[in-house]
Amino acid sequence: MKLFLVAATLILAVGCSKHHLSYPKPPQPKIDANLPVIVHGRQEYLHEKESILYIPAGAALPVEVEVKGNAFVDPLHETLHVRLKEALYAYLDKRSDSISIWVSRDKRAWKPLQEHFTGEFSLTVAAKKQGATILFGLTADHK
């Protein structure tokens, strides 16, 4: 079945390249190795308490998708699940007005989220035999 692109692709990206948005690197926080580690899916993660979130490889990670606005008859809110190939530690640095997320594979070397992954969001409108289709895409790769 042939797929004809009707509209341009909108790219919002994490990382740095000529087609990607870049974000300033936040200052490195002092992450205490003795902070409690909360295991995703096994323990409740409390944002109020300083801790490290551990996401095991293969654990189901929810991705919430929301489509809304006056262009649509009904809003849509769905939860999809993805699984990471590699385990990951995450730390939320709440020292300033904006929260930065730091990630690590070994809980020793920490990088800002945007330096650990590169990726893009895309929105494509396509015409198929059945009619128009809207495709939201997310690509995330380790740097």
Residue 6 scores a pLDDT above 90? no
pLDDT at 77: 93
Q: What is the pLDDT of residues 80-90, one digit of tens each?
A: 999 999 999 98
Better-predicted residue by pLDDT, 79 or 143: 79
Q: What is the pLDDT of residues 36-76, one digit of tens each?
A: 888 888 766 565 567 888 999 999 989 888 889 999 899 99
Please answer whether residues 80 and 62 qualify as being in contact, where contact means their C-beta atoms are separated by less than 8 angstroms. Answer: yes
Terminal Cα distance for the chain, rounded: 35
Residue 21 scores a pLDDT above 90? no
Better-predicted residue by pLDDT, 32 or 25: 32
pTM of the model: 0.67
pLDDT at 30: 80
Better-predicted residue by pLDDT, 1 or 17: 17
Q: What is the pLDDT of residues 107-142, one digit of tens each?
A: 888 988 888 888 888 888 888 788 888 888 888 888
- DSSP-derived secondary structure for the chain: ---EE-SPPEEEEES-STTS---PPPPPP---TTS-EEETTTS---TTS--EEEE-TT-EEEEEEEE-STTSSS-EEEEEEEE-SS-EEEEEE-SSSS-EEEEESSSSS-EEHHHHEEEEEEEEEEEETTEEEEEEEEEEEE-
Please answer whether residues 70 and 81 qualify as being in contact, where contact means their C-beta atoms are separated by less than 8 angstroms. Answer: no
Rounded Cα distance between 75 and 68, Å, is: 5
